[in-house]
């Protein structure tokens, strides 16, 4: 099975997960809360940009094949 289309379809979720992990590391490693708002905004912005990019190129592979998904044909 080729995993590349599945990982590409899950790119926005992976970006959000990476941001969550970075926020946790930042909170654990830092004595004072610093940059958490900026990191959160960058993470959400990157995930939104990835989702918009996937939509703009017409990417319609389901991240979880065989499960519920929404594509152009089902949203009519």
Could you read off the pLDDT of 17-69 as tens digits, one per residue?
999 999 999 888 887 767 788 889 999 999 999 999 988 988 877 666 667 66
Give the residue ranges of DSSP H helices in 3-75.
4-9, 11-29, 36-56
pTM here? 0.75
The predicted structure's pLDDT at residue 76: 57
The predicted structure's pLDDT at residue 14: 93
Cα–Cα–Cα angle for 66, 71, 74, nearest 5°? Answer: 90
């Amino acid at each position: 099975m080729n995993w590349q289309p599945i990982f590409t379809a899950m790119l926005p979720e992976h970006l959000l997960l990476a941001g969550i992990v970075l926020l946790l590391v930042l909170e654990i490693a830092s004595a004072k809360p610093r940059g958490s708002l900026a990191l959160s905004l960058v993470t959400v912005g990157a995930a939104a940009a990835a989702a918009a990019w996937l939509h703009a190129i017409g990417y319609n592979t389901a991240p979880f094949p065989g499960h519920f998904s929404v594509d152009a044909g089902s949203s009519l």
